[in-house]
Structure 1
Amino acid sequence: MRKNMRLSLVAIILLMATVSCKKAVGPEQEMKQEVSQDVINSVKALGFSTTNIIPEEGGYIVEGDIFIPTSDLNRSLNGSILRVGDVEQYRTTNLVTGLPRTITVALTSRINASVYGPVLDEVVRRYNAENLSIRLQRVSSGANITFDRANGSYLASAGFPTSNGNPYNLVRVNTNAIGSGTSSTFINYAATIFAHELGHCIGFRHTDYMNRAYSCGGAASNEGASTVGAILIPGTPSGPDPNSWMLACIGSGVNRPFNANDKTALNYLY
């Protein structure tokens, strides 16, 4: 059963009860913060779903894990749509420029490196194996993209590249919700989440943003942009693909390495 990345922390803990080496944590009390109609209108104008907008320091989290700074609410995220089949799509906003280039990544000291170091190493391996015009390199500090610990009703969140062509510089990781472990199952599951957020940092939207019910369940919904500017990527299928690393929702313990369509899209852009 597919689970939404936006599941409450309690639900996530229940889902992970069968995963070995996890740490059980109690639910956190979150203050309900009202989101103004102006913010809702701005989020919709940017082409994002207005369901369950989460106020976060400095901005808002939409679609479960995408961070929009308050300063970006009134700017246009102009980009093309790369269509993969009838349901699954990749929609770019700003892209990383100055290619080829190396993008450095690091964990902050607030994230347990003995647990999440192998996870980040797997993310670096996955991207670099594709021989893209961007190459990842893990460093100890001063990284272009930093993974930091966070709390909230999400597994992780990240934003999109800046208008001057740099990757978004911060991935917030809810390590309490994701859990911990040393098994290959845990490392691949957590690496899928990390790789997904890094995908946002370099310009990828959710592949099922036109119909989030595809991976998240529930009723079909699309409050985003239309298909104006859609590009059918050569060599991709005409039907939906259930295994993309950029699907909006993920089940506990699920591993989504890049599939053939993901690789086509990555190489198309980078």
Structure 2
Amino acid sequence: MKKNLKRIAIVAMVAVSFAACKKTQESATTEPQETVKNADKVLQYIKDLGFPESSIVDNGTMFIVEEDITFPKNMEIPVNKAFGTEQYYTGSIVNSTNKLNIRVFVDPSMTSMGSEINNAIAQWNAVPNSTLRFNIVTTAPYDILIKNEALQSPNGVVCGAGEFPANGKAGAVIRINRDAIAGNSFAQRARTICHELGHNISFRHTNWSAIGESNATNVPGVTGTDSRSLMNGGQCNSGATVLSQKDKDATAVLY
């Protein structure tokens, strides 16, 4: 009798273990399928913005294009995608309410560059005829997180990366490669942060064509290239350190 009870107990334990294992496996396969499904939508959204597939880098949890623009695979796709003839932007901007107070939280990993962050924010806040305002907050909730992260691309080290806005909200994260820009001047470090903030409110690289990037469209009424634009790409330690007149004009048009 004892032997039979022992056998029954063993069988029961095996059954429970199998059920638990099966449940775990089902959970493990369900989540990736959902992630993959949303990632496919994000990939299509990137292509809809005009980025060729050859420029899109799969970096695990996100896609990276033009080396310093990130698209999280779990991002919410903008509902109103205004692709068409419109310095250059995505067609999706921070809405009229959120633009008045874009809350920026500085991760502890970036507190050593607090002065550079303040400089970058002050430049955008001072644009004439614009109601766009960034404000530093010390606790949640916030709209943009600025954090340190080692960034790499197929072409080498990346100094920083921003995210485009979606559904009326600013891009959620700015990644700054603190070690990569540590040796730059104060003005150039602030420039990198200011440049990435520009991506988070929709600006693309002004010199997109000259550096071999994908098609981009003009902000209405602000056309042509601009060698003085702070939004020129590929200039981690040598670009303009203040917003150009065209940068300001484009900001005033959008915001």
**What's the TM-score, normalizing by structure 1?**
0.66
Letter in 2 for 1:118: S
Q: 1:242 to 1:105 in 2, by over 3 A?
A: same
Task: Specify which of 242, 245, 250 is matched with residue 257 of structure 1.
Answer: 242
Letter in 2 for 1:159: E
Q: Which moved more, 1:154-163 or 1:53-62?
A: 53-62
- Is 1:125 equivalent to 2:89 in the alignment? no
Give deviations 1:140-196, integer Å, cap 9, x for gaps: 232311111111221111111122x11111101111111157xxxx22111111111
Aligned residue for 2:101? 102
Give deviations 1:214-261, integer Å, cap 9, x for gaps: 2x4xxxx45436x6xx5651xx57x53212111121052434311111
Which has a greater percent of helix?
2
Task: Specify which of 136, 151, 155 is matched with residue 159 of structure 2.
Answer: 155
Task: Specify which of 80, 88, 91 is matched with residue 90 of structure 1.
Answer: 88
Letter in 2 for 1:125: A
Rg comparison, structure with higher value: 2
Aligned residue for 2:215? 224
Check whether the contact 2:42–2:75 (CA below 8 A) recurs between aligned residues: no
Q: How many Å apart are 1:126 and its aligned residue?
A: 0.5
Letter in 1 for 2:121: V
Task: Specify which of 49, 56, 70 is matched with residue 46 of structure 1.
Answer: 49
Q: How far apart are the structure 2 equivalents of 1:232 and 1:94?
A: 14
Give deviations 1:121-153, integer Å, cap 9, x for gaps: 101211111142121112223231111111122
**Counterparts in 2 of 1:1-270, with a 5 A limit?**
42=44, 43-71=46-74, 77-82=81-86, 89-99=87-97, 101-111=100-110, 113-114=111-112, 116-131=113-128, 132-142=130-140, 143-153=142-152, 154-163=158-167, 165-180=168-183, 186-209=185-208, 211=209, 214=210, 216=211, 221=212, 223-224=214-215, 233=221, 240-270=225-255
Letter in 2 for 1:207: T
Check whether the contact 1:119–1:187 (CA below 8 A) recurs between aligned residues: yes
Q: How far apart are the structure 1 equivalents of 2:244 and 2:124?
A: 12
Larger relative contact order (C-alpha < 8 A, sep ≥ 6)? 1
Check whether the contact 1:81–1:91 (CA below 8 A) recurs between aligned residues: no
Check whether the contact 2:207–2:226 (CA below 8 A) recurs between aligned residues: no
Q: How far apart are the structure 2 equivalents of 1:255 and 1:222?
A: 20
Runs of 5+ consecutive residues of structure 2 not aligned to the other structure = 1-39, 153-157
Check whether the contact 1:103–1:136 (CA below 8 A) recurs between aligned residues: yes
Q: How far apart are the structure 1 equivalents of 2:43 and 2:150?
A: 26
Q: 1:147 to 1:81 in 2, by over 3 A?
A: farther
Q: How many Å apart are 1:198 and its aligned residue?
A: 0.9
Letter in 2 for 1:137: N
Q: 1:125 to 1:40 in 2, by over 3 A?
A: closer
Cα RMSD for the two superposed structures: 2.9
Check whether the contact 1:110–1:149 (CA below 8 A) recurs between aligned residues: yes
Letter in 1 for 2:160: A
Q: How many Å apart are 1:71 and its aligned residue?
A: 4.6
Letter in 2 for 1:258: L
For 1:137, what is the secondary structure of its paired residue?
Answer: strand
Letter in 1 for 2:69: I
Q: How many Å apart are 1:39 and its aligned residue?
A: 9.3
Q: How many Å apart are 1:51 and its aligned residue?
A: 4.2
Q: % of aligned pairs identical?
A: 26
Letter in 2 for 1:162: A
Q: How far apart are the structure 1 equivalents of 2:169 and 2:220?
A: 26
Q: How far apart are the structure 1 equivalents of 2:243 and 2:179?
A: 26
Q: How many Å apart are 1:41 and its aligned residue?
A: 7.4
Check whether the contact 1:80–1:91 (CA below 8 A) recurs between aligned residues: no
User: Number of residues paired by the alignment?
Assistant: 206
Check whether the contact 2:102–2:135 (CA below 8 A) recurs between aligned residues: yes
